[in-house]
Amino acid sequence: MEKSSLLLRVRRAVRGFLFVPASLALLGLILAPAAVWLDRTDVLGPVFDLVPFLAISASGARAVLGTIAGATMTVISLVYSLTLVVFTLAAGNIGPRLLENFTNSRVNQTTIGLLGGTFLYSLIVLYVVGESEVPRFAVAISIALATISFFAVVYFVHDTAQRVMVDSEIGRTQRRLRAAIERLLDDEPHERANDRDALPETPGRPVLARKSGYVTAVQSRLLLSAAGSDDGFVRMVARPGLFVLANTPVAFLHGDEDAIDQKAIREAIYIEDVRSPDGDIQFNVHLNVEIALRALSPGINDPYTAISALDHLSASLAMVLQRGAPSSLIRDADGTPRVWLDILNVKNIVGTALHPLRRAARGNVMVLLHLIAAVGRMAVVVRDEHAGVLHQHLRLIATDAAHSISNRDDRREVAEALRKARVQTPGHRSLASAEAD
Q: In what order do the strands lie in the sheet with 249-254?
A: 205-208, 249-254, 233-236, 337-340, 329-331
φ/ψ region of 260 (left if φ > 0, alpha if ψ in -120 to 50, else beta) reads beta
Taking the domains of the chain in order of start, what are their residue ranges? 5-164, 195-272, 279-325+344-432
Q: How far apart are CA 20 and CA 112, in angstroms?
A: 9
Residues 352/282, Cβ–Cβ less than 8 Å: yes
Q: Which amino acid is at 248?
A: T
In 179-328, beta strands by DSSP E: 205-208, 213-218, 233-236, 243-244, 249-254, 269-272
Q: What is the DSSP track for 397-426? A: HHHHHHHH---HHHHHHHHHHHHHHHHTSH
* pLDDT tens, per residue, the chain with 437 residues: 344 455 666 666 677 778 889 999 999 999 999 998 988 887 777 766 666 666 778 888 889 999 999 999 999 988 888 888 877 777 766 766 676 767 778 888 899 999 999 999 999 999 988 777 878 888 889 999 999 999 999 999 888 887 777 777 788 888 888 887 887 777 666 666 677 777 887 888 888 998 999 988 888 888 888 887 777 888 888 888 889 999 999 998 887 766 677 888 888 888 888 887 766 788 888 888 888 888 888 888 888 888 988 998 998 898 888 877 777 888 888 878 888 887 777 888 899 899 999 999 988 899 999 999 999 999 888 888 888 889 999 999 999 988 888 888 999 999 999 998 888 777 655 434 433 33
The four Cα atoms 59, 65, 71, 76 give a dihedral, to 10 degrees, of -160
Q: How far apart are CA 23 and CA 29, in angstroms?
A: 10
Residues 385/428, Cβ–Cβ less than 8 Å: no
Architecture of domain 195-272: Alpha-Beta Complex (3.90)
Q: Which amino acid is at 88?
A: T
Write out pLDDT tens, residues 19-77: 889 999 999 999 999 998 988 887 777 766 666 666 778 888 889 999 999 999 999 98
- Residues 6 or more apart whose Cβ sits within 8 Å of residue 4: 219, 221
Q: What angle do CA 390, 284, 387 make, to 5 degrees?
A: 15
The per-residue b/e assignment along 269-301, b for 16 or more CB within 10 angstroms, e otherwise, is bbbeeebbbbbbbbbbbbbbbbbbbbbbeeeee
For residue 330, what is the enclosing H or E element?
strand 329-331
Nearest Cα to 270, choosing from 19, 1, 3?
A: 3
User: Could you give the 3-state DSSP secondary structure of residue 333?
Assistant: coil
Nearest Cα to 330, choosing from 207, 221, 203, 193?
A: 221
The per-residue b/e assignment along 69-81, b for 16 or more CB within 10 angstroms, e otherwise, is bebbbebbeebee
Q: Which amino acid is at 245?
A: L
**Model pTM?**
0.74
